[in-house]
Amino acid sequence: DARVTQTPRHKVTEMGQEVTMRCQPILGHNTVFWYRQTMMQGLELLAYFRNRAPLDDSGMPKDRFSAEMPDATLATLKIQPSEPRDSAVYFCASGLNTRFSSTDTQYFGPGTRLTVL
Amino acid sequence: AQSVTQPDIHITVSEGASLELRCNYSYGATPYLFWYVQSPGQGLQLLLKYFSGDTLVQGIKGFEAEFKRSQSSFNLRKPSVHWSDAAEYFCLCSSASKIIFGSGTRLSIRP
């Protein structure tokens, strides 16, 4: 049963530290999404990639966040330096885009719960 | 501006009762529409989706949703809820350039 994996599942760090979250999309999927979920803001799309190229990262604070796909099996989301307001659950999702739709079904990972003290 | 509205933050229904969760969207054209469910501490799982064609779509776990263009709505329904349906439900609209989740509706089940 193919699924999206995310590591770490939980991360506690101190303000100012660098945080890297990793995501392994489902093999064969060509689109990867990063979301942030908080009680106050709900689910926010941070960035997404298609065929490893960034398509939209307008939801991401550019000064401290960066997202990359070094290869088709790995997506990373990095925060440097981290701040308490970055505390949230970060979800990765992958999907298979066809030429007729910008996004088909997204398959979500279990999330990384980040706490910045 | 494009938007997705789920007007009900929290709904409580009795086990065995029917359910309808509302989703309204504002888009320039018909978007692609999805319903996802999130159980506590879990990621999101797709319940159903609508791209085109028959406006009544069937999903997993006995859920269905109806697309009504005239009302810009895509409401989720289930004829008889089970205690295991307690979760948070999200409506998603996507187009060529935008992906927007609704704010979610938390469903509680009364025994």
CA dist A113 and A7 (Å) reads: 10
Please indicate whether, in this complex, the C-beta atoms of A106 and B96 are within 8 angstroms of each other: no
How many CB pairs below 8 Å do chains A and B form together?
48
Asked if A33 contacts A106 with a C-beta cutoff of 8 angstroms, the reply is yes
Class of domain B3-110: mainly beta
Q: Is the pLDDT of residue A64 over 90?
A: yes
- The helix/strand count (H/E) of chain B reads as 0, 12
Q: In angstroms, what separates the C-alpha of A108 from chain B's closest C-alpha?
A: 6
The tens digit of pLDDT for each residue in A21-55 reads 999 999 999 899 999 999 888 899 999 888 888 88
Residue A65: how many other CB atoms lie within 10 Å = 20
Asked if A29 contacts A95 with a C-beta cutoff of 8 angstroms, the reply is yes
Chain A interface with B: residues with Cβ < 8 Å: 4, 33, 35, 42-43, 45, 48, 56, 91, 93, 101-111
Helix, strand or coil, per DSSP, at residue B85? helix
Please indicate whether, in this complex, the C-beta atoms of A108 and B44 are within 8 angstroms of each other: yes
Q: Is residue A12 part of a domain?
A: yes
More confident residue, A88 or A103: A88
Q: Is residue A101 part of a domain?
A: no
Q: Give the range of the structural domain holding residue A39, as residue numbers without chain letter.
A: 5-87
Q: Is residue A24 part of a domain?
A: yes
Q: What is the arithmetic mean of pLDDT over A90-100?
A: 81
Q: What tens-digit pLDDT sequence spans chain B (111 residues)?
A: 788 999 999 999 999 999 999 999 988 777 889 999 999 888 899 999 998 888 999 999 999 999 999 999 999 999 999 999 999 999 999 876 678 899 999 999 998
Q: Is residue A66 part of a domain?
A: yes
List, in order, residues 6 or more apart from A53 with CB less than 8 Å away: none
* Cα–Cα separations (whole angstroms), residue B7 to A61, A83, B11, B32: 28, 32, 11, 20
pLDDT at residue A99, as a whole number: 53
| Counted domains in chain A | 1
- What mean pLDDT is reported for chain A? 91
Q: What is the DSSP string of A39-65?
A: TTTEEEEEEEEETTEEEE-TTS-TTTE
Name which of B36, B43, B94 is nearest A111 (Cβ-Cβ). Answer: B43
Please indicate whether, in this complex, the C-beta atoms of B94 and A103 are within 8 angstroms of each other: yes
Please indicate whether, in this complex, the C-beta atoms of B42 and A43 are within 8 angstroms of each other: no
Phi–psi pair at B67, nearest 5 degrees: -90, 125
pLDDT at residue B31, as a whole number: 82
Please indicate whether, in this complex, the C-beta atoms of A33 and B32 are within 8 angstroms of each other: no
Residue B82: how many other CB atoms lie within 10 Å = 12
Where exactly are the structural domains of chain B? Answer: 3-110
Q: Is the pLDDT of residue A102 over 60?
A: no
Best CA proximity match to B78, nearest among B33, B22, B3, B20 = B20
At A79, which CATH number? 2.60.40.10
Residue keyed to tokens 């933050």: B9
Name which of B43, B49, B96 is nearest A91 (Cβ-Cβ). Answer: B43
pLDDT at residue A101, as a whole number: 53
